Structure 1
Amino acid sequence: MESETWVRGPIGLDAGSRVTRPRCRAVLVVVPTVTAGTRLLDLVRLLERDLRVQVLFTVPHGTDRWHGVDEYVRAQHGLVLPWAQALAHRFDLVLAASHRHLEAVHGPVLLIGHGAGRLRPSRYSRKAGGATVGTTAVDRELLTFRGRVLPAVLGLGTDDEFELLRERCPEALSAAVVAGDVCLDGMRAATGLRERYRRALEVTPQRRLVVISSTWYTDSTFGRIPQLYQAVLEALPTADYAVAAVLHPNAWAVHGRRQVTAWLSGSVEAGLKVIPPERGWQATMIAADWVIGDHGSTTGYAAALGRPVTLASSPGKGLQPGSIADVVRCHAGELCWNRPLAAQAEAAGKTAARLAADVTRAISTRPDRAAAILRSAMYRLLELSEPAEPATPPLPAMPVPLPGWER
């Protein structure tokens, strides 16, 4: 249970008696999930070096919260405010990558997506059992509260998403900015580091790296085919192939790190490299030679980078038409247990270039410009002049498999 003791930080009526840097603009980063947190750090890195800016973090809570979020936020070593204290102050800028709790915070909100695209891969919301109406991430119920549009700036990836917003919540159009995707831009900028990422994963030049990517929920790769990891390891010679696993942070949050690692322990003993949920998945996708995935964002990003993709799982009729996952499904083959894996990897390679072009357009129509566009929007809300140096997307961190798990 979070302590109600407030932090003696740089905000509050008496802050002037303790700060070292006075009159900084206060930026609150709202982190309800690890997924949102990893995306928001890309924005934080665009402004935290500014001597005029003070960044603070908070983890929202009500009757429940996701397991592991507090530990993740603490590990970033930023100043963390208790949720009650964060709600008692007005901030110069609020950064969010989730719709949850935005009605409670005070200050202009910049809202971005926490994954690839605003058209969700699943047609119906998992939170609405038996739902019959399709949902998106730009629906009115998510972007407004009692008639008030919540974000002051709504970052979108594509022009098509802007048109979707016009249909779903036209009152939010004035807040919308088509910015592209800062995560994809960072991955594109880091493709030259591919060999460094592979060395970090201990993948020698003569070996090929197969990455098994899974989102969360029962229709995911791990949800439907947990035996896939062991099967791939047994089918491919260790001398020629390395195998890594990337699982959605929510899979870890719901089941707990101990349980997930226990479920995968047999495969780890056989050589599986498990990438932790909080960092390293982007670099692992850059390092990959073949991705076996599902409808999750990580598979979409890998496809956009030109990595050969084969699908192991899909929501089937529950897939949202026109979503990034749907674009991937249109080009990527399905994993077949009766065909040699090497042949399936080769087949995936033949469609990789076309898949990359189509998926990239579905994720971003402002390629390599997201950092500049989003930084400009943040400084506009802060009412500060932008720094002189160009805005560049943060490069993905080095991948580090979970300690003690390498063979």
Structure 2
Amino acid sequence: MRVPVGDGAVRWATRGKCLRVLVVVHNVTSATRLLDVLPLFDGDLRIQLLATCPESSAFSAGTAELLAGTGVPVLPWEQAVETPVDLAVSASFGGQLELLRGKLTILSHGVGYTKRLAAPNTGPGTGTGAGADPAPVFGQAPQWVLANGVPIADALVLSHPEQCDRLRAACPEAAPTAVLAGDPCFDRVLAARPYRERFRRALGVRAGQRLIVLNSTWNPESFFGDGGAGGDDLLPALLPRLAREFPVDEYRFAAVLHPNIWHGHGPGQVRAWLDRARRCGLVLIDPLEGWRQALVAADAVVGDHGSVTFYAAALGTPVLLAAAPLHELDPGAPVSDFMREAPRLDPREPLREQIDRLIEHHRPLPGPAAYTTSVPGEAAVRLRTLFYSMMGAAEPEWPASLDPLPLPGHEPVSVTAPLHVLTRVPSPGEVVVTRWAGSPPAAECAGGEVHIAVHEDTRDVDQLELADVIFRDGLPDDPRFGSPAVWTEEVLQRHPGCALAAFTVGPAECVVRLRGGKPLRLLSSPETAVDPTAAASALHALLGAGEAGGDVTATRLAKLVADGGFAVRVGARRVRMRVVGLHPG
């Protein structure tokens, strides 16, 4: 690179007298924490941001693309270690950081430093078995924090005094570099709590639904891992059970996976692994941007020994552990205490009962909230003071602040797996609807009628010929479908076994057509709405479509219109649906 630093900088740079701040990005995981603090330099005309990647991480895939997206000039590592800077900021170790020419501060990329991880060129360490040589604790042990007996960092940022105590015990030489400056990531999460309902709506969670976040760190013994040598692999049996045991209108699932899973195996592979679960309604959260909002929105988290699960517990969210390999953790770290005390998932027992019991009887453990940060809300002020003091520069006159968590884009519910719909009619004009994206437990179906509802875009195309209800969603003026009225007519013509077609045009409205009938609108209040396709199945049950004769169906429909509609019960919710005529177009 020749400009803004390099051989041509003096000649070509427009603002060449800036203080240089070098951001050292090992991988996408560390980038998430560095992006938290970059806004502390916003607006300061004295600062030139630079970035580099040591390419020492096994998980460096995706890092170059991420850095390009920031718009910050990226130096090759060879040039970075030859370029004098006023401050270097990293969120990881490794890659010969001691070669950098400037003051170095290192942030944590988790809840302090808790995991055992072999340092480069020190052997793997086992951490298990009698007499085994455990791997050193990442970010605490001399193998990680010293180079030639000297601390690598000029400032090692920690979020709680207990982390300082463990550092002092593990590596006294590095203890003077410890700086208590809080946790900027968790501060952003805390500040976002007032927007919980917005985040839930963005994730497609409706009133009365429970959002369950599945969270996994990386490595074979994590929740998402295959268990390694001799371990158990939970996922092949667990994922299909989510579809069979949890009604789609009462529960919403989202997966938050560690970036090292995404970039260790490839984003395309992760999506392929979870394809069937996604077609059953699972939302796969972006590893860079959306996971904190999902934590704020969650009703419960099924997780493991990673930092995200600990953050969830610190928020007071109920946590169920699907994996807890204590031998991988520093036994003196608070996360180890949490792993010993938190409830465990039992894969042999019904999952829904465990989740419901977890939520209804939840009592937060005090450790996570107490030990995540000792100075909540203060990270921006403390970190900016640290950064500028290390550069020997005065801080800007405006207050230090972090970016608020952005509102994610809307993730509408998209279940394209065939739905098994159980309906009961406890009284005239009222239908209880329960829908599963897999074969429901036989005991659940006693005393009701079951029909099949299938999304038009299903990959299980053979099920379209067996469907009683076919549905899709879209904009009412989308020219590809002509109009909802045109689409419903085409579907009924194409699939002679289908009794009702439903086109969802909004969160509280769909257009339906019965075989031989005119198009109708089903409407409810947006604030309390159930999925309109569930209401379409309720209408199918009320009218006895496919069983009653045409005259009987028409009479029942006329009565529904005259009565002002009908009621749908989904879980604990009861919603009134209006039936309104629609002129075909």
TM-score by length of 2: 0.64
Distance 1:204 1:20, change over 3 A: farther
| Rounded Cα–Cα distance in structure 1 between residues aligned with 2:274 and 2:85 | 43
Give 1:65 shift: 5.8
SS of the counterpart of 2:240? helix
Contact 1:276 1:401 (8 Å CA) reproduced: no
Distance 1:328 1:398, change over 3 A: farther
Contact 1:140 1:169 (8 Å CA) reproduced: yes
Contact 1:233 1:243 (8 Å CA) reproduced: no
* Amino acid aligned to 1:130: T
> Given the alignment, which residue of 382, 402, 407 partners 1:393?
402
State the aligned residue count.
Answer: 399
> Given the alignment, which residue of 113, 116, 127 partners 2:108?
113
* Amino acid aligned to 2:111: A
Distance 1:401 1:79, change over 3 A: farther
Number of the residue aligned with 1:150: 152
Number of the residue aligned with 1:239: 249
Deviations 1:306-337 (A, max 9, x none): 11100111114444323343233233211123
Distance 1:125 1:211, change over 3 A: farther
**Which structure 2 residues correspond to residues 247-286 of structure 1 after superposition, within 5 A?**
247-286=257-296
Distance 1:237 1:404, change over 3 A: closer
Contact 2:203 2:411 (8 Å CA) reproduced: no
**Which structure 2 residues correspond to residues 3-402 of structure 1 after superposition, within 5 A?**
7-61=1-55, 66-101=60-95, 102-120=97-115, 122=116, 128-130=124-126, 132-133=133-134, 135-136=136-137, 137-223=139-225, 224-227=233-236, 228-349=238-359, 352-355=362-365, 357-399=366-408
Distance 1:212 1:199, change over 3 A: same
Deviations 1:42-99 (A, max 9, x none): 1111113311111111111269662222122222222212222212201110000111
Contact 2:136 2:143 (8 Å CA) reproduced: no
Q: Which runs of 5+ in 2 are unaligned?
A: 128-132, 226-232, 417-585
| Rounded Cα–Cα distance in structure 2 between residues aligned with 1:10 and 1:217 | 40
Distance 1:403 1:44, change over 3 A: farther
* Amino acid aligned to 2:264: V
Contact 1:151 1:175 (8 Å CA) reproduced: yes
Higher mean Cα deviation, 217-226 or 395-404? 395-404
Q: Which runs of 5+ in 1 are unaligned?
A: 1-6
Q: Which has the higher strand share?
A: 2
* Amino acid aligned to 1:279: E
* Amino acid aligned to 1:159: P
* Amino acid aligned to 1:201: L
Distance 1:152 1:318, change over 3 A: closer
Give 1:391 shift: 2.1
Distance 1:63 1:312, change over 3 A: closer
Contact 1:123 1:319 (8 Å CA) reproduced: no
Contact 1:372 1:392 (8 Å CA) reproduced: yes
Distance 1:23 1:406, change over 3 A: farther
% same residue: 37
Deviations 1:235-257 (A, max 9, x none): 11111111100111111121111
Provide the alpha-carbon RMSD of the alignment.
2.5
* Amino acid aligned to 2:112: G
Deviations 1:147-193 (A, max 9, x none): 32211111012111111121122222222111221111110111011
| Rounded Cα–Cα distance in structure 1 between residues aligned with 2:174 and 2:53 | 26
* Amino acid aligned to 1:116: V
| Rounded Cα–Cα distance in structure 2 between residues aligned with 1:288 and 1:384 | 42
SS of the counterpart of 2:252? strand
Contact 1:312 1:334 (8 Å CA) reproduced: yes
| Rounded Cα–Cα distance in structure 2 between residues aligned with 1:366 and 1:21 | 37
| Rounded Cα–Cα distance in structure 1 between residues aligned with 2:221 and 2:259 | 15
| Rounded Cα–Cα distance in structure 2 between residues aligned with 1:235 and 1:184 | 33
Distance 1:331 1:208, change over 3 A: same
